[in-house]
Chain A
């Protein structure tokens, strides 16, 4: 993963509540695929926000924020409540990352989506609703915003605010270290836990190959 230290760029306001992952990534497997190899991550970049991004005749909706010329290179998304709720499909995160989004600021997020962001080089930031509204108003002007991961601070014009980011997450983002790597460094602890737990809850540990 590439380190995420400072995110600077245009922010796109999208203040709709409860945008679910089906709206962010309304992709379905192609009908009739009976063979062929799958990639670990498969997605169609054109699917991002399809219900909002295109008109019913399939052409771009010129009013949708990410279709407006100033926002086509947005790196930051300022979103409504409960962003990314719904199904666990990670395509939603991949599509946003693929578009170039590196940070999403919202009053709240869907839980699985929130976790998945960290694993795909996107920083999700929770801020109080009034801050999100103020940032969205700034964003309307297509002004540049700065998200300083190291300092856990957002700057937008005169606005400046700290945000919460657990230390272990901050360290991982800055170092660009993947969480599997981090956990596997604790190999001894993992083994110790299982050895102790086996005695306390032996029914949990099924026999290998019990089929």
Chain B
């Protein structure tokens, strides 16, 4: 079944897959070569497994690490003395096995899915695995990138391979020009709502269409980041000139002759015109509004001008029940708009929305304004390099002057584990967050999350409640 079909029309996903098959295991499964393996702090424990089994790291030169999930993002962290057990595990693994580790607080460090493209570690046509479900983010470069559990991580450390099942393919074609103040984040929140939390389960989703080709690289990462929120295993965007311009000159990207050789292959990395996808969806995004989530599933999303849906209108009993539970947890009422809902926290950060363009967009809203007195608002850049760039542009001043906390790179409040669970939202508190998951307790036990774009989050911080960013003269 998975025998390479090298002559007929193929999807982008299939082309990358075929180039990495080491062995066909039958029933659609193959053993695949992993070109890049990236480990973060929570995965550092897997090196214990390697050691206890007496195994060696098979390809140290293809293995990279960064610490992001549990580290502190407080600006006065003293890295010479800071440690935690996860970081210890990772450092020990690095020492024993000799591979590149971007030490926190140093150039190159940051949130894993921000770092891998930024450093040119993830490349078009490559396979990349990481012990994190948002690894699909870097599929935006035209890579086959997927998240694995800790046991699979160990398998990759020991073998540089992974057993994978040929995924069903889905193409999501997005057309139209976004209106003012509507961003890539709004686009993907809207699509997740329409496709549903499991609508693309297990699929390799290729995003295409004019809205994608017109989108800068950073927005494309935001799109692919949330593919997992529809249940997809992979998110991909075919590489084009935007991709190549983004990659050229990055530290681990090929240079000179190798770059030219790579280009020749990368230019063929797109789905053939008559390639058949298992399913295809089309969206026109010209009409969409800034989006915001109202519930506890990533598909619980509305446009800012809509009202919160009423569970009584939902025909599916199981969905209805979950909607009621979600409203109860979030503490809002059906049938009302979210605009005006008082908030306690704002978080601008994460692998979804903490790149330089995200910070610029938030800063354009914040400039000359102040955070509402009852709101605690944090800016957590996605990487050390994003932070430095923002500081060169003076964005830090804009945020600090407005009353935001300007912090170090890391996952921080996104997963509620920063500095080992100290960086989180207090129980019952309401947050507008640029992250990707609004699950129960995701940002801390009892936390109530509303997902939105950086501009929407910035506007909420100023207003002290959920607002329509377009009332803030947003241009981004």
Contact = CB atoms under 8 A, between A and B. Distances in A.
B305 to A, nearest CB: 27
Contacts of A81: 198
Given A17-B318, A180-B154, A184-B159, A88 B132 contact: yes
Interface string A178-210: 011001101001100110010001111111111
Interface stretch (B5-13, B52-60, B384-392, B467-475): B52-60
Given A166-B29, A209-B60, A32 B258 contact: no
Contacts of A39: 45, 48
B23 A40 contact: no
A15 B321 CA distance: 12
Nearest to A80: B318
Interface stretch (A2-10, A19-27, A62-70, A138-146): A19-27
Interface in B1-58: 19, 22-23, 25-29, 31, 33, 35, 42, 45-46, 48-49, 52-53, 55, 58
Contacts of A205: 61-62
B151 A90 contact: yes
A168 B25 CA distance: 7
B358 to A, nearest CB: 22
Q: Is the interface of A mostly helix, strand, loop or mixed?
A: loop
Interface residues of B, number: 81
A119 interface: yes
B29 A40 contact: no
Contact of B46 (A34, A40, A112, A204): A40
Contact of A87 (B52, B415, B440): B415
A31 interface: yes
Nearest to B202: A111
A119 B19 CA distance: 26
Contacts of A211: 100
A186 B22 contact: yes
A116 B158 contact: no
A58 interface: no
A206 B201 CA distance: 34
B108 to A, nearest CB: 10
A93 interface: yes
A38 B86 contact: yes
A45 interface: no
Given A29-B421, A40-B45, A204-B123, A51 B441 contact: yes
B248 to A, nearest CB: 13
B70 A29 contact: yes
Contact of B439 (A20, A186, A206): A20
Interface string B400-437: 00000000000000011100111010000000000001
B126 interface: yes
Contacts of A193: 22, 33
Contacts of B222: none
Given A112-B147, A179-B163, A206 B158 contact: no
Given A30-B421, A35-B83, A120-B151, A111 B22 contact: no
Given A38-B88, A86-B133, A203 B123 contact: yes
B297 interface: yes
Contact of B422 (A23, A31, A86, A190): A31
Interface in A124-180: 164, 166-168, 179-180
23 contacts: A18-B197, A20-B439, A29-B70, A34-B83, A35-B83, A38-B89, A41-B45, A90-B149, A108-B198, A108-B202, A115-B148, A116-B151, A166-B28, A168-B27, A180-B154, A180-B159, A183-B31, A184-B159, A189-B22, A201-B19, A206-B252, A209-B98, A210-B61
Given A31-B421, A81-B198, A82-B231, 10 more contacts: A17-B319, A29-B70, A38-B86, A41-B150, A88-B147, A89-B149, A116-B151, A193-B33, A202-B261, A209-B60
Q: Which 10 pairs across A and B sit closest by C-beta, in order of nearness? A: A203-B254, A116-B149, A119-B151, A166-B27, A82-B198, A90-B149, A40-B48, A90-B150, A28-B421, A203-B258
